[in-house]
């Protein structure tokens, strides 16, 4: 992925830090932290997700945003407090 980024115009100008996004400490502070396309779901424990939020908070400038893109399962066929209806 980094090689694909570097191959694009201006790609050499974008800083990259490689590591576990829950715990890796990039240099600097940022106005936006963005977890694309359900990436938060790769952290499968509450402790790991809390570590991620703490890590992001430690690297956001004042007024910065933590944006998490995540799909929400359809609720069709279910009622509040009940699991989804079987599909068969
Ligand atoms: C949904 S993909 C991101 C989409 C991809 N960046 C794109 O633009 O198409 C999630 C990525 O996070 C990586 N990943 C999972 N857990 C990680 C972790 N703890 N730290 C860093 N990367 C992780 C996965 O290997 C996967 O490549």
Provide the residue ranges of all domains of the chain, joining segments of one domain with +.
15-68
State pLDDT tens for residues 29-86.
Answer: 999 999 999 999 999 999 999 999 999 999 999 999 999 999 887 766 666 676 665 5
Q: In this predicted structure, what is the pLDDT of residue 74?
A: 74
**Could you tell me the distance, in angstroms and rounded to a whole number, from the CA of residue 17 to the centre of ligand 1?**
13
Pocket mutation for ligand 1, best pick of 1, 37, 42, 53 (most atoms within 8 Å of C-beta): 42
Q: What is the pTM assigned to this prediction?
A: 0.79
pLDDT band per the 50, 70, 90 thresholds, residue 88: low
Q: In this predicted structure, what is the pLDDT of residue 73?
A: 75
Sequence-distant (6+) residues with CB within 8 A of 72 are none
Tokens at 72, concatenated: 């929400």
- Please report where in the chains the tokens 């699991």 appear, as a residue: 83
Q: In this predicted structure, what is the pLDDT of residue 77?
A: 63
**Could you tell me the distance, in angstroms and rounded to a whole number, from the CA of residue 1 to the centre of ligand 1?**
10
């Amino acid at each position: 992925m980094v090689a694909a980024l570097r191959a694009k115009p201006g790609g050499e100008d974008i800083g990259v830090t490689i590591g576990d996004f829950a715990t890796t400490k990039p240099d600097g502070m940022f106005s936006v932290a963005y977890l694309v396309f359900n990436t938060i779901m790769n952290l499968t424990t509450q402790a790991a997700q809390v570590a991620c939020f703490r890590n992001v908070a430690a690297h956001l400038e004042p007024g910065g945003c933590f944006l998490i893109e995540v799909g929400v399962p359809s609720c069709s066929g279910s009622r509040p407090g009940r699991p989804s209806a079987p599909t068969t």
